[in-house]
Amino acid sequence: MRIAFLVAPEGVEQIELTDPWRAVQDAGGSPELVSTKPGRVQAFHHLDKADTFAVDASLDDDARPDDYALLVLPGGLANPDALRLDERAVAFVQAFFAAGKPVAAICHAPWILVEAGVVDGRTLTSWPSLRTDIRNAGGNWVDEQVVVCGNGPNTLITSRRPKDLKAFDTALTEELQRVKR
């Protein structure tokens, strides 16, 4: 089962990419790195450059939401900010919701959910500085390790920060197992 990890060419928080990636692999999923451009993406550890990762599919070429069972949106400060300014990335996210597919977002990643217009009426969490944006978009922001909104089509999994990755990964792999059935 293919799982899309959507990131910008620069600015993804490395641990928020690699930790859920490993959890998806351990659960039997096939994670794929999707970006707005082909090539490699530059990850960060907070504000410092970290490793680079090869892009599996780009929005320029071959990435289609229909090819994936679930979408993961890693955070980092710059990553979701760049994604929400890219109409193709916003449309990619919207397509998962339109198809009733689950989406998981951590830290600052809910910014793209706000831009995509998919938080209205949902309960979610994020890095605390996004709470006003989420509330202004009609979402119910809560300060919890992980929030699973919905059970079935359009399940949304959100988490606040890297320290919450264990809870985020658990909710993500539980959803992956549900989708497999």
Q: How many residues does the chain have?
A: 181
Q: 10 Å Cβ neighbour count for 157?
A: 28
Q: At 112, list the tokens.
A: 């793209």
How far apart are alpha carbons 87 and 58 in whole angstroms?
14
Which of 15, 73, 83, 108 is flagged as catalytic? 108
Active site residue 46: no
What are the catalytic residues? Answer: 108
